[in-house]
Structure 1
Amino acid sequence: MRQIEYDFSKFKNQEPTLVSVAVRTEILDKVSKAFIDKYQDATIINIGCGLDTRFLRVDNGRIIWYDLDLPEVISIRKQFFQESERNKMIAKSVFDYSWIDDINTNKHVLIIAEGIFMYLTQQEVKDIMSKLANAFKGAEMLLETTPSSLVKQNQKQDLIKDQYEIEARLQWGIKKGKDITKLNSHIEFIEDSHYFDYHKERWRIIRWLSLIPGFKDRFGNRIVHIKIN
């Protein structure tokens, strides 16, 4: 953090955001680890990796891990992490589908999309899912989703920019985890994990509001676990 020219202090008083990121990390680590325990020679594709360190936390000494992000992001990433035979970096946009040809995969593939799809349009998400469905049949995927109600609210007020001074806009969301199957006929819903169901004591007033029917579907993010058939 000290080596990155970024003002992290803007998050100091954003406890719900900090809890959300921590919970998101816990869920993704847990499900990724379970997948790797089941398929010990798995291939993992981390879309929009940023400076994520998940490979270091879940590596079993056998998996092959690909970190994919924009060239400028990967150039920063390489200041802190080194590639290896089992942990490779791909400096391409997710929309530059030539990255798919850079993947040497086996039949057990897990794709992770953390903090990315909600900033894309629904058509862009559909296009990505169509490419993934064609290229990685039988793969499983973990993707973070935001409620469609927050997307609608963001169209009236730029929530991300107003709160965090970040140039990003919510554009796509779903109400229920199972809604993800509407994106592509090859998607099979496995389960979803709602952030508000974890460490409830840390959510303060949200802990009680989440007991109201429909509240979680309107205001909380979740990790959706799917399979591509």
Structure 2
Amino acid sequence: MTSGLIDGNTLDGVSSTTLYTLHNRAAFASGSKSVIDDPMAVNIHRSIEYDWSKFGKPAAAAALRARTFDSAVQAYLASRPHASVVALGEGLQTAYWRLGRPDNDWYSVDLEPVMNLRARVLPHEDRIVPVAKSAFDLSWADCIDPEPGVFVSAEGLLMYFDERMAIDLITQCAARFPGGGMIFDSIPEWLSQRTVAGVHLTEHYTMPAMPFSMSSRRGASLAAEIPAVVSATDVLFPTGPGWWRFNSMPTLANNRLIRDRRTSVTVLRFAA
């Protein structure tokens, strides 16, 4: 390459969705439509050579979701100041910097091609431990001390796998990290079915299939379903532009006609 930019075409399949979320986050991190303070996302976006146009018109969802996850991580660290954070399938997320570079061990877990790209576009941090593994290879957990507390973030991850794998991962995290917590997002069944059939964002990009769906009600029931989970809370996105402002209003988001048809975010706390 002669442009001096970093080639983003090293990623494909599900791994390439980190470019999609980066593109959308960067679009809503500056200018009049900014909904997230994420200048690093803008800089990373500019440093990567990629045909961004194939993703179509940017949407605010990725930026609003990132803020929701940031708040959950921040809340857990406030209660357990020496806890570790595990970011599963972290991709090109910049949460560590958005949270002010917390003095906590931060385990960044993703597949090797993603981690290689991440190392090229993001600065080195002593507290960030890069782990080039699948989130479902639980050996990443072997080196983490559960005693100070562990908070697991699985942003934009579980929906790309089947239900058995997703629930097993949650169950394993709850068993391995007593007193810990977890946050993950889910898509509704109607959207899952559409992606399995094939959703073409543009003529040049088809969304990867997302076979796993979970409604907000199902997410909130995990405390009764998984023995080591003591609480499960449905968390709404912050207010955003357009349709997304309705997703932040409890009265509308929890309306019986909407609650099982919207994207959901679930925060879990694990038994001590």
Scaled by the length of structure 1, the TM-score of the pair is 0.83
CA deviation after TM superposition for structure 1 residue 184, in Å: 2.3
Distance 1:9 1:180, change over 3 A: farther
Identity of aligned residues (%): 23
- Deviation readout 1:103-162 (Å, 9 max, x if unpaired): 24433211100000011100111221232122112211111111123223444x323xx1
Distance 1:214 1:150, change over 3 A: farther
8 Å Cα contact 1:174/1:180 also seen in 2: no
Greater relative contact order (Cα 8 A, min sep 6): structure 1 or 2? 1
Q: How many residues align?
A: 220
Instruction: Work out which of the residue numbers 132, 142, 164 in structure 1 matches 2:183.
Output: 142
Q: What residue number does 1:163 align with?
A: 201
Q: What residue number does 1:203 align with?
A: 243
Distance 1:100 1:137, change over 3 A: same
8 Å Cα contact 1:147/1:217 also seen in 2: no
Instruction: Work out which of the residue numbers 204, 226, 235 in structure 2 matches 1:193.
Output: 235
RMSD, matched Cα: 2.6
8 Å Cα contact 2:109/2:130 also seen in 1: yes
Query: Within 2, Cα distance between the matches of 1:98 and 1:76?
Result: 22
Distance 1:212 1:35, change over 3 A: closer
Q: Which amino acid aligns with 2:129?
A: K
Query: Within 1, Cα distance between the matches of 2:254 and 2:93?
Result: 34
Segments ≥4 residues shifted beyond 6 Å: 204-208
CA deviation after TM superposition for structure 1 residue 102, in Å: 3.1
8 Å Cα contact 2:64/2:240 also seen in 1: no
Following superposition of structure 1 onto structure 2, how do residues 95-114 of structure 1 map, counting pairs within 5 Å? 95-114=136-155
Scaled by the length of structure 2, the TM-score of the pair is 0.71
Q: Which amino acid aligns with 1:203?
A: W
| Greater Cα offset, 111-120 or 131-140 | 131-140
Q: Given the alignment of the two structures, is residue 47 of structure 1 paired with residue 88 of structure 2, yes or no?
A: yes
Q: Which amino acid aligns with 2:54?
A: K
Following superposition of structure 1 onto structure 2, how do residues 17-96 of structure 1 map, counting pairs within 5 Å? 18-59=59-100, 61-96=102-137
CA deviation after TM superposition for structure 1 residue 85, in Å: 3.2
- Match of 1:85, SS state, is coil
Unaligned runs of 5+ in 2: 1-44
